[in-house]
Amino acid sequence: MALDWLDLTGKVAFVTGSGHGIGAGIAEALSAAGAKVIVSDINEEVGSATASRLGAPNIPLDVTDREAVDRTLARVASEFGALDVLVNNAGIYRGFGGPIATITDEMWQKLWAVNVEGLFYCCRAAARIMVAGGRGGRIINIASTQSVSPGVGVTYDGSKGAVLQITRSLALELGPKGVNVNAVAPGATWVMDMPAPPLTGVVPPPTGDALADTVASRIARIPLGRWGQPIEVGKACLFLASGMADFITGVYLPVDGGWLVE
Ligand SMILES: NC(=O)c1ccc[n+]([C@@H]2O[C@H](COP(=O)([O-])OP(=O)(O)OC[C@H]3O[C@@H](n4cnc5c(N)ncnc54)[C@H](O)[C@@H]3O)[C@@H](O)[C@H]2O)c1
């Protein structure tokens, strides 16, 4: 019985930015629970590699292209029969950190275009489809511990704060229409093109990237004593996408090894 609640057989899930890193872990977790997962990434090469590994369809998408977002999610609903779960994972952060005086207009606009506007376009397209389809749905937005505990720079911290409030606003609006909207907030998660996650709180050598290095230096603060792994964020998304979370909406679920506990 308990396992039935986690079973996503017959559900169609679309995960943005799922070619690499956390998104690939989310796609893997939802696939393992039986969902038909559509892998999607702006980078066709990584999207196609992850899709083949999972035996899943791959539909490339740049979430900042609003027309492509509408077209792609409509295509998913017609080709696969529904859109039950949307995970807004696509996000950028490397190369966008630093003090406000060093942030250019281009840096600010580029990061917000992906992390906030792209997420908004996908939420809007999915909400239209889920409400019209009459079978409700789940929207899961990948926020960050920086949504509530800033510290890596105004550009990224601000964007992830916005993701949290968009989630809460949509939970209010879409709840009566059968769509649950929640946020998952990863802490430091080991995706930085390194071979394997360290199982201790070891601080990796500086990369020269201000934001990545700030995250790395804060590793010592994690009570569980290690970095997270993409599949661990995937498991939280699976929970929120499943029958385990039927009565949960508008929450912010940290997956951070306790980093937010001070
Ligand atoms: N890794 C961490 O420590 C961490 C911590 C907190 C939150 N997050 C969030 O998790 C999400 C995934 O981060 P990650 O660490 O796996 O990053 P990543 O760079 O490993 O993967 C992000 C993926 O998104 C894709 N992408 C980038 N721009 C896109 C666009 N415009 N349209 C579609 N796809 C696009 C990239 O090609 C890449 O495959 C992001 O929203 C990030 O802010 C990550």
- How many percent of the chain have pLDDT more than 70? 92
| Residue 14 binned pLDDT confidence (cut-offs 50, 70, 90) | very high
Report the side by side order of strands in the sheet with 12-15: 36-39, 12-15, 85-88, 137-142, 179-186, 252-255
Query: Which residues fall within 8 angstroms of residue 205, CB to CB, at 6 or more apart?
Result: none
Which atom, in ligand 1's list, is nearest to the CA of 64? Answer: 31
Looking at residue 196, its pLDDT comes to 54
Superfamily for domain range 2-195+229-255: NAD(P)-binding Rossmann-like Domain (3.40.50.720)
| Residue 49 binned pLDDT confidence (cut-offs 50, 70, 90) | very high
- The CA 115 to ligand 1 mean position distance, Å, reads 9
Give me 234's structure tokens. Answer: 């995937």
**What is the spatial distance between Cα 30 and Cα 33, in angstroms, rounded to a whole number?**
5
If you average pLDDT over residues 144-166, what whole number do you get? 96
If you average pLDDT over residues 29-55, what whole number do you get? 98
Contacts 24+ apart (CB under 8 A), 108-115: 108/155, 111/155, 111/156, 111/159, 112/155, 112/158, 112/159, 113/64, 114/63, 114/64, 114/90, 115/91, 115/156, 115/159, 115/160, 115/162, 115/163
User: pTM of this prediction?
Assistant: 0.94
At residue 43, does pLDDT exceed 80?
yes
If you average pLDDT over residues 154-163, what whole number do you get? 97
With H, G, I as helix, E, B as strand and everything else as coil, classify residue 10: coil
* H/E element, 75: helix 66-80
**Catalytic residue positions, numbered:** 156
| Residue 2 binned pLDDT confidence (cut-offs 50, 70, 90) | confident
If you average pLDDT over residues 232-260, what whole number do you get? 97
At residue 55, does pLDDT exceed 80?
yes
Which atom, in ligand 1's list, is nearest to the CA of 41? Answer: 34
Pocket of ligand 1 contains residue 142 by CB under 6 Å? yes
- The CA 163 to ligand 1 mean position distance, Å, reads 14
- The CA 191 to ligand 1 mean position distance, Å, reads 9
Looking at residue 212, its pLDDT comes to 67
If you average pLDDT over residues 48-77, what whole number do you get? 98
**What is the spatial distance between Cα 125 and Cα 219, in angstroms, rounded to a whole number?**
37
| Residue 251 binned pLDDT confidence (cut-offs 50, 70, 90) | very high
- The CA 203 to ligand 1 mean position distance, Å, reads 21
pLDDT digits (tens, 9 = 90+) for 104-141: 999 999 999 999 999 999 999 999 999 999 999 999 99
- How many percent of the chain have pLDDT more than 90? 80
pLDDT digits (tens, 9 = 90+) for 185-237: 999 898 866 555 555 555 667 778 776 676 666 677 888 888 899 999 999 99
Pocket of ligand 1 contains residue 149 by CB under 6 Å? no
Pocket of ligand 1 contains residue 17 by CB under 6 Å? yes
**What is the spatial distance between Cα 144 and Cα 132, in angstroms, rounded to a whole number?**
30
If you average pLDDT over residues 239-249, what whole number do you get? 98
If you average pLDDT over residues 155-175, what whole number do you get? 98
